[in-house]
Amino acid sequence: MAQRLPRSLIGFTALVYFLLHLPILVLVIFSFNSSRYVVWTGLSLNWYKRLLERPDILAALKASLIVGICSTLVSTILGTLIALALARHKFKGRTLFEGLLYVPIVTPEIVVGISLLILFAAFKIPLGLSTITIAHIAFNISFVVVVVLARIQGMDQNLEEAAMNLGADEITTFWKITVPQLWPGILAGALLAFTMSFDDFVITFFVSGVGSTTLPLLVYGMVRKSIEPSINAISTLILIVTTATIYLADRFGREQAKADV
């Protein structure tokens, strides 16, 4: 780079990065502290052991996993189909459809949560894990479409045409050519959907009922009650799960298209 950056600018950037990462770093470090106060008294796994003593935490983890896996499966399938249609087909009402697809991304979560609460109440559907899953599928579809669509647009369409010319019908071509090429994109979309479902608080808050406490809802309840280092411990565990998932999603997203033909 010919242009040198002024020192003050670099210093300022370093400060912003420091402030951006300090809170999480401190949170993780103090989850290993033996004291409950913000004075470092020594390394300890005490707060993690406390987590194991609480059955509600395991129950919440189970609820989060059930919702996360179910909503990921459904939203990935529905989102992938939409992405295929958008990339390959001309159809009437496309602009309107794209509105339906992209408005959920910018709609405030609280609006989505409240409107679903109203829907479930209006049709007397009892709130629970099923309503949470329905809501998560709804907000995940659009994100899966965005990720998978990006993948399709980078794909080699000639392979599909070649397969068809060689006598394969649409269904065979789809399973033998399209899906293997698209796989990393689908996987990246699925991992992203899982992270968003696993992390979601606001929408879940409004559509959950008695006995359907997911991990974020439990953490919220703990934070409201009293601040103690077990929350740091549980937060650290959530961070590990989401960071690992995002890391994998990123790797699959970048993987070059391998044509397994």
Partner 1 sequence: MAGVRERSLAWLHRRPQAQAWSLLGPGTFWLVMFFAIPIIIMLVYSFMVRGIYGGVEPGFTIEHYKRFFDPLYLRILFRTFWISIVCTAICLLAGYPVAYVIARAGRWKNLLLFLVVLPFWTSFLVRTYAMIFMLRDSGLINAWLMKLGLIQTPITMLYTPGAVMAGLVYGFLPFMILPIYASLEKLDLSLLEAAEVLGAKPAARFWKVTLPLSMPGVVAGCLLVLIPCLGSFLTPDLLGGAKEVMIGNLVQNQFSSARNWPFGSAASFILMAAVLVAVMIYLRIKDRSPLEEK
With respect to partner 1, which residue has the nearer C-beta, 22 or 258? Answer: 22
DSSP 178-241: IHHHHHHHHHHHHHHHHHHHHH--HHHHHH--TT---HHHHHHHHHHH---HHHHHHHHHHHHH
* Residue carrying structure tokens 């106060």: 37
Minimum Å gap between C-beta 258 and partner 1 is 23
Minimum Å gap between C-beta 20 and partner 1 is 6
Nearest-10 Cα torsion for 136, 137, 140, 144: 160
Minimum Å gap between C-beta 118 and partner 1 is 5
Q: What's the distance, CA 174 to chain centroid?
A: 27
End-to-end CA distance of the chain: 43
With respect to partner 1, which residue has the nearer C-beta, 58 or 240? Answer: 240
With respect to partner 1, which residue has the nearer C-beta, 181 or 232? Answer: 232
CA separation for the pair 218, 227 (Å, rounded): 13
With respect to partner 1, which residue has the nearer C-beta, 35 or 258? Answer: 35
Minimum Å gap between C-beta 119 and partner 1 is 4
